[in-house]
Amino acid sequence: MGSRGASVLLSRASRIKTKLQSTLEASIIEVEDVSHQHAGHAAVKGTQGETHFNVKIVSPKFQGQSLVKRHRMVYDALAEELQSGLHALSIIAKTPEEAAPK
């Protein structure tokens, strides 16, 4: 809930984490910046990185939702990031039951 100025100082990875945690009540959230893996990408050139992320999120809110719906929930939570240079997300979205070790 910091001021807009303060949040910009944080890395995109931590902003993603915070937003997903609060919006989706995530019990587990892992965010990894993999922009360097896509360095040759046409759209990445000329940016400061922070374009491609892997996100793993476990949340009870995914219960009963199709994969498409789950991914949309994640995208909606990160709408601002997507408009400011976030380019791609690899999403793993599970409910607590699905994520539990067998």
Partner 1 sequence: MATINLSPPQITFSCRCLSSSSSSRNAPTLSFYSHFSPSHSSLSVSLKHRNNTIKHRCLITASALKNLSETELVPVPVVPEEVSGKLPSDSGVYAIFDKNDELQFIGISRNIAASLSAHLKSVPELCCSVKVGVVSDPDRAALTQAWKSWMEEHIKATGKVPPGNEPGNATWIRQPSKKKPDLRLTPGHHVQLTVPLEELIDKLVKENKVVAFIKGSRSAPLCGFSQRVIGILESEGVDYESIDVLDEEYNFGLRETLKKYSNWPTFPQIFVNGELVGGCDILTSMYEKGELAGLFKK
Chain residues binding partner 1 by CB under 8 A are: 37-38, 41-42, 67-68, 71-72, 75, 79, 82, 87-92
| Nearest residue (CB) to partner 1, 22 versus 37 | 37
| Nearest residue (CB) to partner 1, 61 versus 71 | 71
Q: Which amino acid would we find at residue 72?
A: R
| Nearest residue (CB) to partner 1, 2 versus 32 | 32
Among 76, 79, 81, 59, CA closest to 7: 81
Cα-Cα-Cα-Cα torsion 64, 67, 71, 73, nearest 10 degrees, comes to -20
